[in-house]
Structure 1
Amino acid sequence: MTEKKITIIAPYAFGYTTHIFRALKSYNGVTPTIIYLDNPAFQYKNSLHRLQNVFSKILLDKNLKKTFVSKRILKILKYIGPQDIIFMIRPDVLDTATLKTIKTYTIDLRAYYWDSTRRFPRKVEILPFFDVLYSYDKEDVEQYHLQFLTNYIFHEAKEDIPATYQFFNISTNDYRLPILERLAAHIDSKGWSRKILVYNGSPMPVEHVTLITTQKSSEEVAELISNCSIVVEIQRAEQIGLSFRIFEALGQRKKLITTNRDIVNYDFYRPENILVIDEDNIEIPETFVNTPYLEIPEEILAPYRVENWVQPVFSL
């Protein structure tokens, strides 16, 4: 049987993209490779080298870090040879010349836009490069005639674990911080328990949330979610698609509180499990907190599991 060669080019993204690679490895007749867009091997030689990159970006519109990444990707592709499918996430971080060269290694170049074009406009410029283009953003799907694709479940609860806290959220420090501060204060006023973590690279003052200065991997986040009963997700302002936090809650059979109003249009939505809140007027009914989780039928959950999700995405 001829092996189907598939290469994923994507950011490491705390390990979320690695789950696609692992799912592909479970299929007979598939030889997957993953090349990360991150550049952990790149290091400035000295302060002069760092300064050189600053001037290179300003004067030549050329980033030495990105050049390093592009060379590494092309070197790996040259080594492994032509691929049946190359699947890219965040291809917009690569320059046009690199994308053109990547395209020479396959007759089937695919991409998944898991951020909207409103957030990263360059995604519009590079649309013509791809033979198949997926997006989780319904506005982009309609405007640019893309194929709709959600994120996926990669971790499921193996057994019921008693919750050690009721509410859980982990976010980076951005415009969502004031919302999380208000949410934490609201939870405290009700006497409920919580673990609301906000990542910032260095210490900073916070009033209600807990600040962390070390980022968590997808596995660490899964462990934290397993110890809660309700996951909280604050939608990015420019985002319509469903974040991984929603699928982490779905996989671990946790209730969800979200500001994403479009979630009511998905087949797994149940008002017993999912509460949509107004970030400017936070109200959480006690009945939602205290009633049990409503099980979702297997036929609804199955397509979202990453091991099944890869089948249509990679034509398996």
Structure 2
Amino acid sequence: MRDNFKGKSIILGAPKYFKINDFLKRELYHLGFDQVIEVSYDYYKFRYKNIFQHTKSFIAKTFRNRPHYKQYLMFKAIEPQLIASLKDVKKVDYALLIRPDTYSSSFIDVLHTKAEKVIAYQWDGLDRYPATYPLIAKFDSFFTFNPADVSLDGVLPVTNFGPASYSRKELEDKNRLIDIYFSGSYEPKRINTLERMIEQCTILGLNTKFIINSSKARIVKTCALSVTNKQISFEENIRNSYNAKIIVDLVFEGHTGLSFRIFEALAFDKKIITTNKQISKYEFYDTSNIFIWTEDTTADDLRQFIEKPYRIVNDFIKNKYSFENWIKYVLDYGNFTSISLPE
């Protein structure tokens, strides 16, 4: 464990889906934080109390221009419990909320009474979650990974990041070895891309693992695409990514920022196939390591990419996009390399 943040404490609020909060807590302790106090919660488990609450939500979303009213109800149900959990917390150094749109304005005010500095990171495009806009000014610093959002007042640029706390020895697993790996949430437009990608991989005889996570049963064409309603934890994805030769990344519609998969590939010296054309604007873009998939991609195009030797990325760039540098940058602590986004 490193001692960069020895003696420091932080309140962490992050989504619990895929156990991302556990991953972040591990990374923070790895860097020497003495205390990580969680205000994370699982908003996907929310259920309406009754038909009247459901109807009220429908009216608010449909007729009163409050599309995220259900999200408001989700947090209001858990807010008293989270505030109570902070009752005995004395002043801490930092509070960091990831997906701040899932918290209320009043709760952010509570955090300001507990932390010297309150920071937010929105890893989804702001247009997808407009409830975020009125919260921006409430933070000491507000970051986004989506270049299109950086033009807004009070919004600072930052990318996602690669893991820093895992050793190669810890991650190596012969039972996970695979040529190409993908895991991601269900989105209708992703299915056709995945099916075509699998077809081209099959032509080349590649050993693949493509997983779609969906809370509902989904039917896809007959191909090597697995659909599961069981969440694959963030750590499990990291282990799978490490033991793959190539990692697949599919960009969400409305996003131009780079996903975690990109930075895992960078950290682990892995090749990546992505549908995010914006990656060509980043300093680590190299056609030997990164392939931009299009509708016209053929098996021969893919073969040529696979046959290219991986070109090692220098340590300065890899360290720049690691969690260690990321957290120093967003907390404005110690020596760090600033992280910008392309225009």
If the TM-score is normalised by the length of the shorter chain, which range does it land in? 0.7 to 0.9
Aligned to 2:138: 129
Q: Supply the distance in 1 between the matched residues of 2:127 and 2:196 (Cα, whole angstroms).
A: 27
CA contact (8 A) 2:141 2:154 kept: no
Q: Distance in 2 between matches of 1:186 and 1:252?
A: 25
With over 3 angstroms needed to count, the CA separation of the structure-2 counterparts of 1:38 and 1:184, relative to structure 1, is same
**Which amino acid is the alignment partner of residue 281 of structure 1?**
D
State how far apart, in whole Å, the 1-side matches of 2:148 and 2:46 are.
39
Distance in 2, Cα, partners of 1:88 & 1:297: 31
Which structure 2 residue ranges, 5 or more long, are not aligned? 61-68, 334-343
Q: Which amino acid aligns with 2:306?
A: V
Deviation of the 1:219 alpha carbon: 1.8
CA separation of 1:182 and 1:306: change in aligned 2, threshold 3 A: same
Could you tell me the percent identity over the aligned residues? Answer: 24
Alignment-derived partner of residue 212 in structure 2:
198
Residue-pair matches, total: 311
Change (3 A) 1:292 1:17: farther
- 2:190 equivalent to 1:186: no
- Partner of residue 214, structure 1: 230
CA contact (8 A) 1:138 1:240 kept: yes
2:267 pairs with one of 251, 264, 274: 251
* Matched residue type, 1:255: K
Change in Cα spacing, 1:205 to 1:130, as seen in structure 2 (3 Å) is same
Return the alpha-carbon distance in structure 2 between the equivalents of residues 26 and 269 of structure 1: 29
Deviation at 1:169, TM superposition (A): 0.8
8 Å CA contact retained: 1:156, 1:252? no
Residues 33, 251 of structure 1: alpha-carbon distance in 2 compared, 3 angstrom cutoff: same
Q: What's the CA shift string for 1:286-315, capped at 9, x where partnerless?
A: 121123322111111112222332222223
**Alpha carbons of structure 1 residues 214 and 110: separation in structure 2 relative to 1, 3 Å:** same
In the aligned structure 2, how far is the partner of 1:277 from the partner of 1:227?
Answer: 22
Q: Distance in 2 between matches of 1:105 and 1:179?
A: 46
TM-score by length of 2: 0.80
How far apart in 2 are the matches of 1:211 and 1:314?
Answer: 38
- Structure 1: gaps spanning 5 or more residues: none
Q: How far apart are the structure 2 equivalents of 1:179 and 1:273? A: 20
8 Å CA contact 2:183–2:210 kept in 1: the answer is: yes
Distance 1:6 1:290 in 2: 45
The two structures, once aligned, show a CA RMSD in angstroms of: 2.8
Aligned to 1:230: 246
1:6 corresponding residue in structure 2: 10
Letter in 2 for 1:282: T
For 1:80, what is the secondary structure of its paired residue? coil
Task: Give TM-score scaled by structure 1 length.
Answer: 0.86
Tell me the equivalent position of 2:296. Answer: 281
2:24 is equivalent to residue 24 of structure 1: no
Aligned partner letter, 1:114: W
Deviations 1:117-168 (A, max 9, x none): 1211121121111111111111111233522111111156448777843221
SS in structure 2 at match of 1:126:
helix
